[in-house]
Amino acid sequence: MEAKLSQSATTAMPPAWRQWIAKHAIALYPVLVILALVVFFAVQNPNFATFDNAMNIGRQSSVLLLVALAGTMVIMIGSIDLSVGSIVTLAGIVAALTIDSAGPVVAILAGIGTGLVVGLINGVTLISLKVPSFLVTLGMLSILSGIANMICGGASIMFMDLSLTNFVNAELIPGLPTIILVALLSAAALTFIAFKTVLGRYLFAIGGGEIVAANSGVPVNRYKVYAFMLSGALCGLAGVLLTAQVGAGTPAAGANMLLDSIAAIVMGGTALSGGIGGPQRTILGVLVIAILSNGMDVTEVSSFTQEIVKGLVIILAVASTIDRKKYPFIK
């Protein structure tokens, strides 16, 4: 009888490693996609799996990581920030305009400040006019693009002071370009904020159930504004870094960041409906996109084909990463 009992108990409970996999499946899928991509490209071209190329991938994806982290903080509360790319553009232009006259520190602060103000406007518009974030930030995207083009008049803004450019390409830690370091530190800081601070807990709570959060004493409106300000400031920083990296402020700098960042966020496992996921997940999503782009560059795939492949991989990756049990239906 006892033997029978223990036998039925083991058949009912899957072994520990399978439970662990089931529990972490959502985080493991992107890792598997990354491994598959790495193996595939390494076989295609021996230059892919090298330290130098890994640093290339890092340099190419640092700005995208910052933008995707920014978007994550807003998607966590169940809203969306479509103005991320246009903030990158405008903040980059502001930094390019100020660096020669006021120096790199002011340029950095001006860029971040630009993003912060835009985020504040996004958030306050959302809560005071009760316009959905999708539309508020869609409008903001258009406004900022217009402003950026007016400032630039169609051309790029060049600058002479190369201190910032040298700084982001330098290696504060030998072997690791500073821009990658900044992006990784930002990711770590945001993960800490998400899971170890009142701010993070409130953002998750708002995304998980706004009414419950309000009933529990969360100042919902104020924290929504904080989420958009955080997003704006991060995009501002991303804009400054991009301008430093490129060596100019250009009116199209952030144009293709929006879709890549949303794809990275969702692939990482943060639900568009909010409440679950987080910045740590987004890192993996960004890696998928970065490795894919770099790998196709290295294997000399034409840029048109790249777009098609990227679209397919995004759909397939999201199809396999979203934990569909959490969604009663998909629209």
Partner 1 sequence: MNTVVPALALSGVSKHYGPVAALRAVDLTLARHSVLGLVGENGAGKSTLISIINGTVLPTDGELRVNGVAVTPGSPADAARAGIATVFQEQGLISNLHVFENMLLGREAGFSRAGILGRSAMVGLARDVLSELGIAIDPLAVTGELAFGERQLVEIAKAFALGRIYPVEPIVLLDEPTSALSDKETQILFNSIRRWREKASIILVSHRLSDVFAVCDHVTALKDGTVNGHWAVADATPDMLHEAIVGRPRSAGYYKEAEQREDLGEVLLDIRSVSVPGQLREVSLSVRAGEIVGIAGVLGSGKTVLANAITGAVRPASGEIRVGGKALKPGSRADALAADVGFVPAERNIAGVIGMHSIEWNMTLPSIRSFRVAGLPFLSGSRQASVTDGWIARLRVRTPGRAVQIRNLSGGNAQKVVFAKWLARGIKVFVLDDPGRGLDVGAKEEIYVLLRDLARQGVAIVLVSDNLPEIIGLSNRIITLRSGAISAEINAPANDKPAETAVVPHMV
Contacting residues toward partner 1, per CB under 8 A: 5, 8-9, 11-12, 192, 196-199, 201-202, 204-205, 208-209, 211-219, 275-276, 326
CA 28 to chain centre: 18
Compare residues 162 and 198 and give the one whose CB is closer to partner 1: 198
Compare residues 151 and 199 and give the one whose CB is closer to partner 1: 199
Residues whose CB is less than 8 angstroms from the CB of residue 159 and which lie 6 or more positions away in sequence, other chains included: 96, 99, 100, 247, 248, 249
In terms of phi and psi (left: phi > 0; alpha: psi -120 to 50; beta: otherwise), the region of 302 is beta
Residue 117: Cβ within 10 Å count: 15
Give just the sign of the alpha carbon dihedral 269, 183, 137, 125: positive
Compare residues 159 and 202 and give the one whose CB is closer to partner 1: 202
Least distance to partner 1, CB of residue 189, Å? 12
Compare residues 132 and 326 and give the one whose CB is closer to partner 1: 326
Task: Determine contact, residues 275/209, Cβ cutoff 8 Å.
Answer: yes
Q: Map residue 135 onto helix, strand or coil.
A: helix
Compare residues 5 and 173 and give the one whose CB is closer to partner 1: 5
Least distance to partner 1, CB of residue 202, Å? 8
Q: Residue 77: what are its φ and ψ, rounded to 5°?
A: -85, 5
Record the tokens describing residue 257, joined without a space.
Answer: 């960041």
Least distance to partner 1, CB of residue 275, Å? 5
Least distance to partner 1, CB of residue 14, Å? 11
Least distance to partner 1, CB of residue 9, Å? 6
